[in-house]
């Protein structure tokens, strides 16, 4: 696992966007796994700026979802399908044909989970998966004590996650669904490159447990320690509880330029 400490969220977004651009230059039809929420917005803004400036061609890129609410209409402004189309697909100049995600409105939700879990490897596998992290250490919607071998499935959200997400529903927790479809930790670990971005002091404990703590289902993000190519990008606030922060700064400062992110 590589840990990169950046000054702020904007710098983190630029760094990750350049890694995504470099991937698209090598593999124009790369399958990019995206996350939702406020944390990855600087990534999408920086990547969109690169595309519009002609620094990278994203016209053949493919986008896939990490998770989706169950029961929320696909055209609801806060369904993750709508969010990804609005914040990623449309700004990059792509069409819905380049996008894939689970069906949270399916009559048989379990079958929809299984279908999406099959669809990802059938599409060639995820080349780069973006991740955020919850204050309790969850990734995707794999809440604490999720199996580290789990596949795409239905999960019940914790009350804390619903509280955290209420800001997207006019602050009304009653509007936040109780259930979601999420890629499982085992599914996530199959991506070729995992990139987690965390910003703000509120994520500092989760980041420290993920990076320096034991691998534990209690902290689902700690499973990134098992991945051969996982990158954790954190701002100074999110890095504030890392015991090895100085070492991480040193290793990144002395990293060979050819190695990339």
- Catalytically active residues are 67, 136, 138, 143
3-state secondary structure the chain: CEEEEECCHHHHHHHHHHHHHHHHHHCCCCEEEECCCCCCHHHHHHHHHHHHCCCCCCCCCEEEECEEECCCCCCCCCCHHHHHHHHHHCCCCCCHHHEECCCCCCCCHHHHHHHHHHHHHHCCCCCEEEECCCCCCCECCECCCCCCCCCCEEEECCHHHHHHHHHHHCCCHHHCCCEEEECCHHHHCCCCCEEEEECCHHHHHHHHHHHHCCCECCEHHHHHHHCCCEEEEEECCCCCCCCCHHHHHHHHHCCCHHHCC
């Amino acid at each position: 696992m590589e840990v990169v400490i950046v000054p702020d969220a904007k710098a983190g977004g630029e760094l990750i966007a350049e890694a995504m651009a470099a991937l698209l230059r090598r593999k124009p039809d790369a399958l990019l796994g995206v996350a939702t929420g406020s944390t990855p917005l600087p990534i999408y803004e920086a990547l969109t700026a690169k595309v519009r400036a002609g620094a990278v061609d994203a016209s053949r890129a493919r986008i896939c979802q990490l998770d989706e609410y169950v029961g929320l209409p696909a055209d609801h402004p806060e369904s993750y399908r709508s969010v990804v189309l609005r914040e990623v697909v449309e700004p990059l100049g792509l069409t819905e044909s380049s996008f894939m995600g689970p069906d949270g409105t399916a009559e048989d939700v379990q079958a929809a989970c299984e279908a999406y879990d099959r669809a990802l490897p059938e599409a060639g596998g995820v080349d780069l998966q973006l991740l955020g992290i919850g204050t309790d250490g969850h990734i995707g919607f794999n809440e604490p004590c999720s199996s580290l071998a789990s596949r795409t499935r239905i999960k019940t959200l914790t009350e804390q996650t619903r509280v955290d997400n209420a800001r997207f529903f006019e602050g009304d927790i009653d509007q936040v669904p109780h259930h979601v479809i999420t890629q499982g930790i085992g599914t996530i670990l199959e991506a070729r490159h995992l990139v987690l971005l965390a910003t703000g002091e509120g994520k500092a404990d989760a980041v420290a447990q993920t990076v320096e703590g034991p691998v534990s289902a209690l902290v689902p993000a700690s499973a990134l320690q098992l991945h051969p190519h996982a990158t954790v990008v954190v701002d100074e606030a999110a890095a504030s509880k890392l015991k090895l922060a100085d070492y991480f700064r040193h290793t990144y400062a002395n990293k060979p330029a050819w190695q990339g992110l």
